[in-house]
Structure 1
Amino acid sequence: MDRDAALKTIRQTVDPLGEALHSLHMSGTFYCRSELTAPWGVDLPAMPHCLMFHVVSQGEAWVTVPDADPCHLSAGDIALLPHGEGHQLTHAIGAPSVDLFDLPREELGDRYERIITGGGGAVTNLICGAVTFSHPVAQQVIGMLPKLMNLRASVPGNAWIHDSLRFITAEAENLRPGGDTIITRFSDILVIQAIRAWIDHDPSAQQGWLGALRDPQIGRAIAMVHRDPVRDWNLQSLADTAAMSRSAFAAAFQEKVGETPMHYVRRWRMGLAESWLREGQATVAEIADRLGYQSEAAFSRAFKSMRGVSPGSLRKGANATATAPTGK
């Protein structure tokens, strides 16, 4: 097969960016439906390792994040805070705000609550969420996003937002059986669409790792590492996957991704290992074997060198978090 035919095959069989977005499945989801009347204002604390989002189903709101311009939201607009930074939601810029945990709330389920507050003026209804993403691809995507993103329903091509909001609002108000699942699925769609819109239009999304995913050759090599991380990859096999020479592939990968191919492979494997350890569904020895290490000790050394903590202590911490009692 000549080079042009190989590149055509690559384009037809691999969609690295699509596969990356496919990994954006939410976990650890918590929702709040807020019914607010002006004047109102809420201080939301930082939630590290969470993506937070706010959807305005009625009225308007302002989102203020430190070191960023205030963002105005109208009905149907979505604001995403990918890194869980503390911020304010208010009816107007500079309006007084109250700590979220000082507001009266109605617990409607383990992962769902409602807040009703305000001064009796103009009405704003919000659906807000805090979610996490456990898959390493998702974490890599989220890590590249700006601190505040806004998807406007008024932009041509975003009419689907209103349809999605109708479903989410109806489920949030009625709380029928399975409603929590429906809210989660539609929230998946809202978040992924917001990220797609950013990728399509923001120049920074054309660079670095995301830009490399768009490259038909480098993107294929990255996608194959994601699909088969335990394969005995080396520079030659990765270059063969990309239909490039070793030297050309190594140089192009370094330029586009910012690290050597083999460093990326090792870092990716350790990211998977960390995800498995946090899930607590495999022992350190089982993960070492799954990733092809000859011994648990060899894996532990490699993991600590790459992640800065031993796999055993990380797994113990995840187990302690999972079994700790929660208070209301």
Structure 2
Amino acid sequence: MSTDPWPSTSDPLGEALHLLEVRGAFYCRSEFTTPFGLELPPYEGYLWFHVITRGSCWLEAPGAQPRRLAASELALVPHGQGHRLRSEPDAATPSIFALEREQLGERYEILRHGGGGERVDMVCGAVRFDHPAAGRLLALLPQILTVDPASSPTRLEWLRSTLRLMELEADGLRPGGETVITRLSDVLVVQALRAWLESDPAARSGWLGALQDPLIGRAISLVHREPGREWTVASLADQVPMSRSAFAARFTELVGEPAMSYVTRWRMHLAATALRDEGATVAELASRFGYRSEAAFARAFKRVVGSPPGAVRRTRPV
């Protein structure tokens, strides 16, 4: 019996979400009283999320109109930007690092701050994505993305249920609780992305639109699943199936680049991750991605990534 979690490519968009490999990095339960404000610093490569569980506040991020967030509303700041939260537009916003926080674990803390007025509670956190697909998806998101669960009974239920589980874990701090909390944070973010994919016209254009095309989306999924296979335009077209010329034209129209250019770039992004995180060698990666020589792989890598494989491997964290 197959253990493949994606036994078919009938849902390329869902498969893309599965591939994002979300990793929660930080979780904070915030208990504010008005007036209050704080500034969160830039956090390159991470996505911030904020959920209002009581009251309301303003969210401000560069390049976006300030947003008034109400109870049960979920907001994402997806581009790692510094941003501000405050009870009213003129409230002071000291750095979060200047505020006293109760550290309950390596990645979990409680923040209490404010002037003693009306209570505002939030759940905040930061997550990162470990898969090359994430960069393409996140690049399409607005500076601030908000999800109002009240517009859908189903969304409201999953938000409340997830937050309740997070609260239970936070209150008990049982063994493994931090891991559960960060995983539930991951669920919140993926659910928010799914809500955006379902409702925003921007999600039906460009690369995301291509994923939702029944033929081109299937081809992209096949490349994602088997990046080392000896793909050609003809073999991809045959898998869909379409004629070679029709497939090539449609792929370029929807994705914005030719099919083999996409295949090469996808392989090189995977290779860069393997160099940094696995310490893989050039020889291993050349074999993994179907190159006949290390030199051919290295040339393709430098053309796509902009640096030779050795330079990327040297930046691997110790």
Q: Report TM bin, short chain.
A: over 0.9
Post-superposition shift, 1:74?
A: 2.0
The answer to whether the 8 Å contact 1:58/1:75 transfers is: yes
Of stretches 198-207 and 93-102 in structure 1, the one that deviates more from structure 2 is 93-102
| 140-149 or 251-260: bigger deviation | 140-149
Matches of 1:278 and 1:143 in 2, distance apart?
22
Q: SS in structure 2 opposite 1:22?
A: helix
Do the aligned partners of residues 219 and 13 (structure 1) sit closer, same or farther apart at CA in structure 2, a change above 3 Å counting? closer
1:164 paired residue number: 162
Correspondence 1:95 to 2:91: yes
Q: Output the TM-score relative to the length of structure 2.
A: 0.92
Q: Identity over aligned residues, as a percent? A: 52
Task: Identify the residue that residue 278 of structure 2 maps to in structure 1.
Answer: 280
Moved more, 76-85 or 22-31: 22-31
Structure 2 stretches of 5 or more lacking a match?
A: 1-7
Which structure 2 residues correspond to residues 211-290 of structure 1 after superposition, within 5 A?
Answer: 211-290=209-288
- TM-score (normalised: structure 1): 0.90
Letter in 2 for 1:134: D
Alpha-carbon deviation of 1:55?
1.5
Which residue identity is paired with 1:38? T
CA distance in 1, matches of 2:256, 2:9: 25
1:296 deviates by 2.6
Aligned residues: 309
Q: Which amino acid aligns with 2:20?
A: L
Q: What's the counterpart of residue 193 of structure 2? A: 195
Post-superposition shift, 1:291?
1.2
Q: In structure 2, give the amino acid aligned to 1:166.
A: R
1:173-226 CA deviation, whole Å, 9 max, x = no partner?
Answer: 332212122212222221111111111111111111110111111111111000
Amino acid at match of 1:231: R
Output the CA distance in 2 between the equivalents of 1:174 and 1:74: 27
User: 2:35·2:114 contact (CA, 8 Å) conserved in 1?
Assistant: yes
Q: For residue 143 of structure 1, report the CA deviation from its aligned partner.
A: 2.1
1:13, CA displacement in angstroms?
4.9
Does 2:107 match 1:107? no
Secondary structure of the structure 1 residue equivalent to 2:111: strand
Aligned to 1:8: none
Aligned-residue offset at 1:28: 5.5
CA distance in 2, matches of 1:29, 1:178: 15
Measured in 1, the distance between the counterparts of 2:161 and 2:128 equals 25
Which segment is superposed worse, 78-87 or 168-177? 168-177
SS in 1 for 2:175: coil
Matches within 5 A, 1:53-132: 53-132=49-128
Q: Which runs of 4+ in 1 moved over 6 A?
A: none
Where does the alignment leave 5 or more consecutive residues of structure 1 unmatched?
A: 1-11, 324-328
Letter in 2 for 1:100: I
Cα gap change, 1:28 to 1:300, in 2 (>3 Å) = farther
- Contact between 1:55 and 1:128, CA under 8 Å: does it hold in 2? yes
CA RMSD of aligned residues (A): 1.6
**More displaced 10-residue stretch of structure 1: 252-261 or 148-157:** 148-157
Contact 1:24 1:188 in 2 (8 A): no
Q: Distance between the aligned counterparts of 1:195 and 1:206, measured in 2?
A: 13
